[in-house]
Amino acid sequence: MSDRTHTVVDSPVGPLTLVATDGALSGLYMENQRHLPPVETFGEPDPAAFGDVRAQLAEYFAGERTEFDLPLNMAGTPFQLTVWEGLQEIPYGETISYGELAARIGREPTASRAVGLANGKNPISIIVPCHRVVGSTGDLTGYGGGLDRKRHLLDFERRSTMLV
């Protein structure tokens, strides 16, 4: 049986629930997020177990961190894991379309819908930057945390890159 713990931290996009499985981050969920697992699956509260995650998120929201360096424990299908790995390759402050992400992971552009579905099931938002994927016309489309949060994160990253 896996050892699961969780805590809730404040952020500029609202409370974030952090979940760890066997000591590695396995979930980062926003308040009222779609595809939110049942709270009873988050394990025991343990704020002390998330020091590195808290520190790196604070640096990110302060505009001081553009990449995360944390152990992750992501559970999903092989296709989902491939999509989530592809998300981590999207540079800070940039966006790509679902079709572009499909091509980057070696799939046909017609796989963009499947990529979108996998993107929407990403259990570690922000750190695995699913917010950086947009529609083929550049429009903001689907985000488990809501389009307002997606817009906030993208605008924040763009502003931060302009200050460098």
Distance CA 133, CA 130 (A): 6
pTM, whole model, 2 decimals? 0.90
Say which DSSP state 72 is in: B
Does residue 90 carry a pLDDT above 70? yes
Q: Is 92 helix (H, G, I), strand (E, B) or coil?
A: coil
Between 163 and 148, residue with greater pLDDT: 148
Q: Which residue numbers are catalytic?
A: 130
> pLDDT (tens digit, 9 = 90+) per residue, 17-47?
999 999 999 999 998 888 788 788 898 999 8
Task: Kindly report the average pLDDT of the chain as a whole number.
Answer: 89
What are the residues whose beta carbons fall under 8 Å from the beta carbon of 137, sequence distance 6 or more? none
> pLDDT (tens digit, 9 = 90+) per residue, 35-83?
788 788 898 999 888 999 999 999 999 999 999 999 999 999 999 999 9
Nearest-5° angle of CA 126, CA 121, CA 17?
A: 50
> pLDDT (tens digit, 9 = 90+) per residue, 6-24?
999 999 999 999 999 999 9
Does residue 161 carry a pLDDT above 60? yes
Q: Tokens 């999509």 appear where?
A: 83
Domains defined for the chain, CATH in brackets: 4-61 (3.30.160.70), 78-163 (1.10.10.10)
